[in-house]
């Protein structure tokens, strides 16, 4: 995959992921306005995080890491890749159906394990009730991840990247209808989630069929191929799910403080926008590209793919992190301060956003470095690193709680993110030159840092000078738009002048994407 084609793939996945995240913003804004931080939202967050936690184990994380290289190898060699995908489909469906049954049966235990502070108040029973409704979502999303892996491995990124948009469309419409009709918004929200999961599965299932990979439900068979796939997937599950595990640990630590789970959740969703658009896009496109080049013995091509992915990640991760650090209050105020979310909530969420911003580049770089291991079908090493990162996260979250209170989980998550990146980078040193960043990346990286710093200074000065605008009902929206435009102009102007990037590269990639 040539550099421009690789960038085009990043942009294709990034475009649809951006659409999903923007609609996700709309969803979170509606949740904050109609429900707001408090017991009901705390309970919903705990319930909804359960399928999302297991989704990282059984779906995108572990499955893509194990399935995509194995499927792509068979597909490109002209072997019967469809039969391999069918076996994986049957095994995955049986495993997740069993998980759903156990989860429904032991839901009170799951809530107790992930939010022990809820015990003894109304939030516990609400979380159990919501959990029974939303937990089957994991079945639909796990199977959707299989079909997405098929599509990604064959170079068809659009449908798989577009599927998550449906969840946000369905939930936004449901909450709006509930508010108009005077119904319980939370009830409409929780029942819409499994319905949206069915729609997402249908979309990628049909797209895979059009690509010539037609799969049908069947009985699982424990073949040598499936034993190999499982052996690779199990350690990958923990390695890829470390972020979700860290979030659950943070949730547990903060669960005895009312509203803390809500504040951390909303802040997490805000920093997930750039992480989702760039980090996930890079991870999805980079893994198949590295797998192909390593099989072909193309060391120079592997190094180029890795370096361009890292470059693309830093290009948006660093300025995003700087913005979260310098102007979190205006961002959070304009996006969330309305309805059931007041100034006290905004101040707490802004603090968490700034702290998560420190870890944002690390979370993105993980998406770049992990495929180095997964493309070699080495999932054990990242698993061991993930264990270390989880220990760091848990130790800081519990250890800092008496000193920092509810914000300790955010500090711990960012620190654990950087610990994971350091371990992944150190381990890559043993892989040879194809796993190292090239001279162009090293040349451009410091220029990106300088351009971001200039942008951050401009944003801070402008926000301080115009702070009064953010106190006005309607002017605050224009004020935030002005900050975004100012930041973009400063960053891209300084970056172009310093040689941190070339805007012509983006025009070429976009042109190629349109032709494709």
The CA-based dihedral angle spanning residues 219, 225, 228, 233, taken in that order and rounded to the nearest 10 degrees: -50
Does pTM top 0.85 for this prediction? no
Cα–chain-centroid distance for residue 513? 23
Residue 114 CA to residue 53 CA, distance in Å, equals: 10
Residue 106 CA to residue 111 CA, distance in Å, equals: 9
Question: Secondary structure of the chain: what % helix, strand, coil (to 5)?
Answer: 85, 0, 15
CB 341 within 8 Å of CB 37 = yes
Sign of the C-alpha dihedral computed for residues 109, 115, 116 and 119 taken in this order: negative
Report H helices in 154-223.
158-181, 185-210
Cα–chain-centroid distance for residue 4? 24
- For residue 44, the model assigns a pLDDT of 93
CB 487 within 8 Å of CB 323 = yes
> Quick one: which of 172, 216, 182, 179 has its CA closest to 82?
216
Tracing tokens 């040193």 back to the chain, one arrives at 429
CB 147 within 8 Å of CB 85 = no
39-58 and 185-210 are packed helices; what angle lies between their axes, rounded to 10 degrees? 20
Q: Which pair of structure tokens corresponds to residue 399? A: 């250890």
Report H helices in 211-259.
224-240, 242-254
Distances (CA, A) of 272 to 17, 299, 345, 357, 491: 11, 32, 19, 10, 21
The CA-based dihedral angle spanning residues 393, 397, 403, 405, taken in that order and rounded to the nearest 10 degrees: 140
Assign residue 377 a region (left: φ > 0; alpha: ψ between -120 and 50; beta: otherwise).
left
The CA-based dihedral angle spanning residues 499, 504, 510, 515, taken in that order and rounded to the nearest 10 degrees: -140
- For residue 101, the model assigns a pLDDT of 93
- For residue 80, the model assigns a pLDDT of 73
Residue 327 CA to residue 354 CA, distance in Å, equals: 8
Distances (CA, A) of 421 to 67, 239, 364, 368, 388: 24, 12, 9, 10, 11
On the 0-12 / 13-18 / 19+ scale of CB atoms within 10 A, 145 is buried
Residue 120 CA to residue 53 CA, distance in Å, equals: 24
CB 512 within 8 Å of CB 8 = yes
Residues written for the chain? 516
> Quick one: which of 415, 392, 153, 157 has its CA closest to 287?
153
CB 225 within 8 Å of CB 67 = no
Chunk the chain into consecutive blocks of 10 residues (it has 516) and report each block's average pLDDT, rounded to whole numbers: 49 63 82 88 90 71 67 71 81 87 93 88 92 92 82 69 83 91 89 93 84 79 78 67 75 86 86 69 58 66 76 85 92 84 89 92 84 75 86 93 91 92 88 77 88 92 80 78 90 87 59 45
């Amino acid at each position: 995959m040539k550099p421009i084609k690789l960038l085009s793939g990043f942009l294709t996945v990034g475009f649809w992921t951006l659409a999903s995240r923007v609609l996700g913003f709309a969803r979170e804004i509606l949740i904050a306005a109609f429900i707001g931080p408090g017991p009901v939202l705390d309970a919903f967050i705990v319930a909804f995080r359960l399928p999302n936690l297991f989704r990282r184990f059984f779906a995108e994380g572990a499955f893509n890491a194990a399935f995509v290289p194995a499927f792509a190898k068979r597909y490109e060699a002209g072997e019967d890749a469809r039969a391999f995908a069918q076996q994986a489909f049957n095994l995955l469906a049986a495993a997740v159906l069993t998980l759903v049954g156990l989860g429904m049966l032991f839901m009170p235990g799951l809530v107790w394990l992930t939010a022990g502070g809820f015990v003894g108040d109304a939030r516990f029973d609400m979380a159990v009730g919501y959990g029974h409704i939303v937990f089957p979502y994991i079945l639909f999303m796990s199977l959707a991840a299989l079909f997405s892996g098929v599509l990604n491995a064959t170079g068809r990124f659009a449908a798989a990247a577009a599927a998550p948009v449906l969840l946000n469309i369905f939930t936004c419409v449901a909450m709006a209808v509930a508010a108009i009709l005077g119904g319980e918004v939370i009830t409409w929200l929780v029942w819409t989630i499994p319905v949206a999961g069915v729609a997402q599965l249908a979309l990628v299932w049909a797209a895979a069929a059009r690509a010539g990979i037609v799969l049908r439900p069947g009985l699982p068979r424990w073949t040598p191929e499936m034993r190999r796939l499982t052996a690779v997937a199990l350690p990958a599950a923990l390695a890829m799910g470390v972020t979700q595990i860290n979030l659950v640990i943070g949730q547990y630590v903060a669960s005895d403080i009312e509203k803390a789970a809500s504040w951390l959740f909303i802040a997490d969703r805000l920093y997930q926008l750039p992480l989702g658009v760039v980090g996930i896009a890079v991870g999805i496109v980079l893994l198949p590209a590295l797998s192909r080049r390593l099989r072909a013995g193309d060391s120079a091509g592997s190094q180029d793919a890795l370096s361009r992915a890292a470059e693309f990640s830093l290009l948006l991760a660093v300025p995003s992190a700087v913005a979260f650090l310098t102007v979190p209050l205006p961002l959070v105020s304009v996006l969330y301060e309305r309805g059931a979310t007041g100034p006290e909530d905004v101040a707490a969420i802004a603090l968490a956003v700034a702290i998560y911003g420190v870890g944002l580049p690390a979370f993105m770089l993980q998406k770049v470095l992990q495929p180095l291991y997964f493309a070699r079908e080495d999932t054990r090493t990242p698993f061991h690193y993930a264990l270390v990162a989880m220990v760091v996260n848990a130790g800081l979250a519990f250890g800092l709680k008496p000193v920092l209170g509810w914000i300790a989980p955010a500090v711990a998550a960012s620190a654990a993110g950087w610990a994971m990146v350091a371990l992944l980078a150190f381990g890559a040193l043993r892989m040879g030159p194809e796993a190292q960043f090239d001279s162009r990346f090293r040349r451009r990286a410091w220029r990106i840092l300088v351009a971001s710093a200039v942008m951050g200074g401009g944003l801070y000065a402008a926000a301080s000078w115009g702070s009064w605008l953010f106190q006005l009902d309607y002017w605050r929206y224009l004020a935030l738009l002005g900050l975004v435009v100012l930041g973009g102009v400063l960053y891209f102007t300084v970056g172009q002048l310093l040689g941190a990037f070339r805007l012509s590269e983006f025009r070429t990639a976009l042109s190629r994407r349109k032709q494709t």
